Amino acid sequence: MIVYGVALLSFCMLFGVYAGNLLGELLGVSANVGGVGIAMLLLIVLSNLSNKKFHLSSASESGIYFWSAMYIPIVVAMAAKQNVIAAVSSGWLAVIAGVLAVAVSFAVIPLISRFSVDHHIDQYVE
Amino acid sequence: MLTELLINKGLVTAFLFVGLITWFSYWLSKNLTRGHVHGSAIAIAMGLGLAYLGGVYTGGNNGLADVAIFSGVALLGGSMLRDFAIIATAFGADMTAIKKAGWVGAMSVVIGVVLSFVVGAMVAVAFGYNDAISITTIGAGAATYIVGPVTGTALGASSEVVALSIAAGLVKSILVMICTPLVAKYIGLNNPQSAMVYGGLMGTTSGVAGGLAATDPKLVPYGAMTATFYTGVGCLLAPSILFFIVRYLVG
């Protein structure tokens, strides 16, 4: 049943966002801390449980794959509802701060991911 | 009457609308750029362009979604369905790749928040702000457009500074969407590990979501996973440790 997959996905999201809110409250910040990330991990863990009691049929899986494939169209809709005017017309301070933050972050990616690859090679050597 | 129908069935109208944009974008990608620019990158850029036009036309804050017949775009592109679809992409993600990059991913979130904060704070100082609250709030905005106002509210920043911090975050998020596919090759963004580092460093969920979608949809779950921790970590660090450091430095 396709709806089983959709229901599992919904359960993961509600659980994750709730946990993220709790985590935020524990840390004393008025924000959700990693709710979506927690939900993703939960979905991965649940879908990797390969025992007989909990097994998704391929129809159930297609309920999840549908939403996974809807991701890009949803992102297009998300782009279409951004406050682009505010971003463009907010003055130089905001533009420069945004541009520099992106440039510096991009520049650091290769450094840090190389770090992860090196570490990974070390593990093989050991 | 047709207008009324399109408004009443807003979400369905949005499906049709996004479908048409996507079709047109892939057509452009194939015929105009001979496949060099990914169709979804064009679709996202087109979405942003339409958001600009919508903003000019209505004077509102929600881009195209403020135009009545496109109001369904706000629901389709809102955080509820966005997060739902992002979580769905995790289905089938490679568990071992996540474990392998786990600690680097976590580290990249903290580094990403501090890096963007420092850049934003330095720009604020360069523009003549000299009180710790304003500098911290603008620095926080350079992290994401949620961290900025959360920090500003916590510290009691002026509404002008909060607006600036939101704008800085918006610029960042839009730039990440547009630039990621262009720079992906040069920063080695082609495997789950670097995608996790990328998500952690950039942090803006909408930027990362759009950027990776236009680069390689297979990488989406890895980037999104770390990115969703960023705003929380930012809201944790900016009004506390980072603010104290700024206050110490500014005096």
Which SS3 state, helix, strand or coil, does residue B186 take? coil
Give the separation between CA B105 and CA B225, rounded to whole angstroms: 9
Quick check: A31 and B92 CB within 8 A?
Answer: no
For residue A116, the model assigns a pLDDT of 62
Give the pLDDT band (50/70/90) at residue B133.
Answer: very high
Q: What angle do CA B190, B195, B198 make, to 5 degrees?
A: 120
Which tokens is B45 given?
Answer: 């850029």
User: Where exactly are the structural domains of chain B?
Assistant: 2-77, 96-250
Of B6, B148, B18, nearest in space to B67 by CA: B6
B111 at interface of A, judged by CB pairs closer than 8 A:
yes
The DSSP letter of residue B77 is T
Residue scoring higher pLDDT (B197 or A50): B197
Tell me which long-range contacts A42-47 makes (C-beta under 8 A, separation of at least 24): A42/A12, A42/A15, A42/A16, A43/A8, A43/A9, A43/A12, A43/B87, A43/B88, A43/B90, A43/B91, A44/B90, A44/B91, A44/B93, A44/B95, A44/B98, A46/A8, A46/A12, A47/A8, A47/B91, A47/B92
Q: Are B89 and A42 in contact (CB under 8 A)?
A: no
Q: Are B160 and A83 in contact (CB under 8 A)?
A: no
- Residue percentage of chain A with pLDDT more than 90: 26
- Which of B 43-102 lie inside 8 A of A, CB atoms? 43-52, 54-56, 61-65, 70, 73-74, 76-78, 81-93, 95, 98, 100-101
- In this prediction, residues A89-104 reach a mean pLDDT of 88
B233 at interface of A, judged by CB pairs closer than 8 A:
yes
* Tens-digit pLDDT profile for residues B170-190: 889 888 988 888 888 888 888
A37 → closest Cβ in B85, B111, B225: B225
B64 → closest Cβ in A71, A74, A81: A81
- Which of B 132-191 lie inside 8 A of A, CB atoms? 138, 141-143, 146-147, 150, 154, 163-164, 166-177, 179, 183, 187-189
Of A125, A16, A62, nearest in space to B83 by CA: A16
Quick check: A76 and B44 CB within 8 A?
Answer: yes
Quick check: B77 and A23 CB within 8 A?
Answer: no
Quick check: B54 and A94 CB within 8 A?
Answer: no
Which tokens is B154 given?
Answer: 């916590």
Average pLDDT score over chain B? 88
Which residue type occupies B102? G
Which SS3 state, helix, strand or coil, does residue B9 take? coil
Q: pLDDT at residue A122 above 60?
A: no
* Tens-digit pLDDT profile for residues B71-126: 999 999 888 898 898 889 888 777 777 777 778 888 899 999 999 999 999 999 99
Quick check: B172 and A77 CB within 8 A?
Answer: no
- In this prediction, residues B122-136 reach a mean pLDDT of 93
